[in-house]
Amino acid sequence: MAELDASELLAISEYVEDGARRAAEGAYPLVREHALALQKRWQDNARKTAGRHGKHYPRSITSEQIYAEDAAIWEIGPDRARKQGSMGEGFEYGGPYQPPHLDGQRAAVATEPEFNAAVDAFARTLL
């Protein structure tokens, strides 16, 4: 009669399941923290570049969680429903009489390395 010992396989399975659970629990606060940092940077940049004609524009920049069962997704940018939110495209990309301000792009470039480092550090805790 042959005996098969699957205890190590079961231990690996439990370890992987625990890692997946910890990843799911940790992803939301990590992404939220950096989404809010991106929003604040974008608003700060917009305050410096919008001038008097765009004094309400920085407050139109919001962050919102997008529902997903298997991902942590946030959307950051001007909300058209808010005062001067519809001017976001013109401020960001410019127009015939205004150069692009690139407030959102500069905020994203500044936030990206911090976000990537946080994801890397978090992933290492799962190993």
Domain count, the chain: 1
Q: Which two tokens stand for residue 30?
A: 């990590």
Each residue's pLDDT tens digit, 10-60? 777 777 777 778 888 889 999 999 999 999 999 999 999 999 999 999 999
| Domain that residue 93 falls in | 10-125
3 state SS of 59: helix
Q: Does a structural domain hold residue 5?
A: no
Whole-model pTM: value is 0.84
Which helix (H) or strand (E) is 76 found in, with range?
strand 73-78
Q: Does a structural domain hold residue 110?
A: yes
Q: Does a structural domain hold residue 2?
A: no
Q: Does a structural domain hold residue 61?
A: yes
Q: Does a structural domain hold residue 77?
A: yes
Each residue's pLDDT tens digit, 99-115? 999 999 999 999 999 99
Q: Does a structural domain hold residue 26?
A: yes
